[in-house]
Structure 1
Amino acid sequence: MSVYNRRISRQDRLFYMANDLFLLLILLAIIYPLIYVVSASFSSPNAVVSGRVWLFPVNFSLDGYKAVFASDSIMTGYANTLFYTVTGTVISVILTIAAAYPLARRDFKPRNIIMLIFAFTMFFGGGIIPTYILVKNLGMLDTRWALILPQAMSVFNVIIARTYFQSTPSELLEAAQIDGCSDIRYLVSVLLPLSKPIIAVLALFYSVSIWNSYFDALMYTNRESLWPLTLVLRDILVANSVNMSMMQNVDIDTLSAKIGLSELLKYSLIIVSTVPLLIIYPFIQRYFVKGVMIGAIKG
C-alpha cells in the first residue's frame, strides 16, 4: 500500500501540520525581505524614506537604477568582476581537484600528514599584515592576480572534493591501471566525467565567494580600473551617503531628496549585484544538491 494511501494517525497529522506551518514561517521570513528589496528598488525615494513600501512598489520609479548606472565605473566593475569570477573559479577548481585527488588515493602514503597541514591553516592564519607583505613581495599589488591567487584554494572545498573522490568505486582505478592508464589519464578521462556534481558545487562556492568579495580589492588595489563591482558599488554608496554635519545650511527639500536617493541606492545596489548569481543558480541546482549530499554522507 502506498504511504500516501495508508491511514495517518492523529499525532502524525498534527506533526505534519505543525511542520508545514513551521516551514511556511521560514519561507515567509526568507522571501519577504527579498520581495521588499525588489519593491523598494522600484519605488520613489519619498516612498522609501516615508516607509510606505511594504509589499509592492509605490510610485514606480527607476531613479535608483538610473543613479547606479549613471556612473561610468559600473560597467568597468562588471567586466572586472566577470573576469575575476570566471578566471578565479577556473583556477580554484583546478587547484582544488589537483589537491583533493591524491589525498583521496589510499596508496598515497603521506596523505594524512598533508591533510593535517591543510587542516591547520583552517584554524590558524598569518593575519592581514603578513599576507599583505607577501602579496607585495610577490609583486602582485595593483594587479589582477592579487584578487585571484591569494584566495585561490579553500581547504574546506578540498575536503569536500576529497570525500567525493573517495566515494567512487576503487574498481574503476584498478580496471584503468590494468589497461595501462596513467594517474593523470585516469583523473582526466575517467574520474572527472563522473564528477560533474562536485565540480558544479566547487564552481558555485568559488564563484559566489569571488563575486561578493571586496576586501581583497580594498586592500591590494588603488587603481579604480581594477576594482570589482562590489567595491565600485560601495564607493557609489559612500559617495551618496548623507553627512548631517555638512547639511546644516541646506534646505529641507534638498536634504530630503539626498536622504531618499541614498536609501533608494541601497536597494538598487543589492539587486544589481545579486541578479547574475540568481540567474545562474537554477541551471546548476540539480548538480549542486547531488554533489553536496554525496560529498557529505560518504567518506
Structure 2
Amino acid sequence: MAKTKSKIKDGSRIFDAFCIFFCALICLVTLYPMYYVLIMSLSEPAAVNSMSVFLYPKGFQLKSYTLLFKDSSMWRAYGNTIIYAASSTLLTLITSVLAAYPLTVHGLHARRFFVTYLLIPMYFSGGLIPSFLLINNLGLYGTRWAIILPASYSIWNIMLVRTFFSNLPEDLRESAKMDGAAHIRILFQIYLPLAKSILAVVAIYSIVGMWNSWFNAQVYLPTTELQPLQMYLKRVLVQMSVDLTKLNSTEIEDAMEQMFSATQLKYSMIIFTTLPIIFTYPFFQKYFIKGVMVGSLKG
C-alpha cells in the first residue's frame, strides 16, 4: 500500500519560504540604513545635499574622510573615547564580579537586605543636580575621573552577573570548600572561567554605552582637550553652520560648498565612529547570545 504524503510536511515548504522571506526582509530593514549612510558618505556632495542617493553611490569621493583624518582634534577626541571606554569597561567588570559573588553566598549575613539595598537606586536615582554636586565636591569636575568613576559600576550589571552566578550548581562551591579552597580561589578559578558569556555581555554593554556617551562629558568636562569623540562630532556640526545673509557672492559660493561638505561629513562621521563598535562585536559574539539568555533567568 502506497504511503500517503504528509500534509504537514508538504505544507512546511511554504512555511519555510515564508520564514526565509520574513528573515530576509528583517535583514534588509536592519542593514539598509547603515548601507544608506555609507553610500551617502562616498557620493558627490551635490548628490548628497539633493537627497538623490538611494541604491548606489552617485559619483565617488573621499574628501569628507580626508578632512576627518587630517584633524588632530578628532584624533585626540578618539583617544579620549578609547581611554574612557577601556578603563570604564575594565572597572565595570571588576566591580560587577566582586559585588555579585558575595550576593550568591547563602551564608552571607543580611544577604537579602543588600540585594534590596542595591535594587532601590537601580530604579530611583537622585538626578543630575545631586550628581553634579557630588562630582564637584569630590574634586573630579574637569578631570577624566568625572567620566570614568561614575561609569565604573552598574547595579544592573551586578544583578546580571549575580543571576548568572546563582544559576551555577551550588555543588561546585561546596566541593571546592571541601578541598580547602577559599572564596577568592573559588571565584577566580571556578566561577570566572564559567562566566565568559555573561562577562562578554557586560563588556559589550559597557563599551557601547561609553562609546556613545556625550551628556556627562558636556556637563563635567568644560575643556575640549578631555572631551570624547561624540562631543567632538557635536561641536564640528555646530561650528559648520553658516549665515548666508552676511556674505558676499564669492563667500556665498564657498559657504554653500562648505555646507554641502558639512552635510556629507555628517554621514562620514557616523561611519567613522560606528566602525570600531561593529568590529568589536564579532569578538564577543561567541559568548554574547548565550550570556543574554542565561543572564535573563531568575536566580
The reply to whether TM is greater than 0.5 is: yes
Q: CA RMSD in A?
A: 2.1
* 1:21 equivalent in alignment to 2:8: no
Cα displacement (A) at 1:114: 1.6
Q: Deviations over 1:45-102 (max 9, x none)?
A: 1110112211222211111112223322111111111111111110111011111111
Q: Percent identity?
A: 38
- Report the 3-state secondary structure (helix = DSSP H, G, I; strand = E; otherwise coil) of the residue aligned with 1:173: helix
Aligned residue in 1 for 2:56 = 56
Q: Take 1:208 and 1:163, find their aligned partners in 2: how far apart are those partners?
A: 22
Which position in structure 2 is the counterpart of 1:124? Answer: 124
Distance 1:243 1:94, change over 3 A: farther
Counterpart contact for 1:242–1:262, Cα < 8 Å: no
**Pairing 1:182–2:182 present:** yes
TM-fit CA distance, 1:245: 5.7
Paired residue for 2:165? Answer: 165
Q: Distance in 2 between matches of 1:161 and 1:6?
A: 47
CA distance in structure 1 between the partners assigned to 2:155 and 2:62 by the alignment? 43
Q: Does 1:115 align with 2:128?
A: no
Instruction: Report the Cα offset of residue 122 of structure 1.
Output: 2.2
Deviations 1:230-255 (A, max 9, x none): 11121112111344665687765334
Q: Runs of 5+ in structure 1 lacking a partner? A: none
Alignment match, 1:70: 70
| Structure 2 alignment gaps of length 5 or more | none
Cα pair distance change 1:247/1:104, threshold 3 Å: farther
What is the number of residues matched between the two proteins? 295
1:34 maps onto 2:34 in alignment: yes
**Bigger shift: residues 239-248 or 28-37:** 239-248
C-alpha separation in 2, matches of 1:247 and 1:8: 73
The two structures have a TM-score, normalised by structure 2, of 0.91
Structure 1 residue matching 2:296: 3-state secondary structure: helix
Q: Is the 8 A contact 2:104 2:162 kept in 1?
A: yes
Quote the residue 1:221 is aligned against: 221
Is 1:98–2:98 an aligned residue pair?
Answer: yes
Corresponding residue for 1:84?
A: 84
Q: Which residue of 2 aligns with 1:193?
A: 193
Q: Distance in 2 between matches of 1:212 and 1:184?
A: 35
Q: Secondary structure at the match of 1:20?
A: helix
Structure 1: distance between partners of 2:79 and 2:16: 48
CA pair 101-251 structure 1, distance change in 2 beyond 3 A:
same
Shift in Å, 1:171: 1.0
The equivalent residue for 1:207 is 207
Alpha-carbon contact 1:68-1:236 (below 8 Å) kept: no
Normalising by structure 1, report the TM-score: 0.91
1:133-152 CA-to-partner distances (Å, cap 9, x unmatched) read 10000000111110011122
Measured in 2, the distance between the counterparts of 1:55 and 1:128 equals 44
1:297 match: 297
Q: Following TM superposition, by how much is the alpha carbon of 1:24 offset from its aligned partner in structure 2, in angstroms?
A: 2.2
Q: Which amino acid aligns with 2:20?
A: D
CA contact (8 A) 1:197 1:291 kept: yes
Instruction: Say if 1:7 and 1:177 are closer, same or farther in 2 by CA, change over 3 A.
Output: farther
Change (3 A) 1:249 1:219: farther
Q: After superposing the two structures, state which structure 1 stretch, 19-28 or 44-53, moved more.
A: 19-28
Aligned-partner SS, 2:68: helix
